[in-house]
């Protein structure tokens, strides 16, 4: 049962880590509405050693899916910012972006 508890705690930490990325630096996550809701949901669906049900596995799956969604959204935002928000680029910048170098002009 301890392995399951560690898995749940790891998922909770992962979701909280992703929520920290969403909040501005000066805003504390502790006490925020999103953190309070998340902690209440995890407490509400906490499984004791005497209780094991299908609903718990569904909640673990949902929590893991939510963590993956948040991480994916953050990473997609990073990629989008890197490749799509720079506006017009020169041919040299575009080549460098995809890992190519332009041939040098021959000296006359």
Domain extents for the chain? Answer: 2-97
For residue 3, what pLDDT band results from cuts at 50, 70 and 90?
low
Q: What pLDDT, in 10s, does the model give residues 12-63? A: 899 999 988 887 777 788 888 888 998 888 888 776 645 666 776 778 888 8
pLDDT band at 73 (very low <50, low <70, confident <90, very high): very high
CA 101 centroid distance within chain: 33
Q: Are 66 and 22 in contact (CB under 8 A)?
A: no
| pLDDT of 6 | 81
For the chain, helix (H) and strand (E) counts, in that order, are: 4, 0
pLDDT of residue 74: 93
75 versus 5: the higher-pLDDT residue is 75
């Amino acid at each position: 049962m301890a392995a399951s508890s560690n898995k749940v705690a790891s998922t909770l930490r992962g979701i909280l880590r992703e929520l920290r990325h969403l909040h501005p630096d000066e805003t504390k996550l502790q006490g925020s509405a999103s953190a309070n809701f998340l902690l209440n949901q995890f407490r509400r669906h906490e499984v004791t050693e005497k209780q094991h049900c299908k609903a718990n596995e569904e909640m673990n799956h949902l929590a893991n899916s939510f963590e993956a969604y948040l991480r994916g959204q953050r990473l997609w935002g990073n990629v989008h910012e890197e490749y799509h928000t720079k506006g017009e680029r020169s041919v040299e910048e575009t080549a460098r972006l995809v890992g190519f170098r332009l041939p040098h002009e021959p000296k006359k």
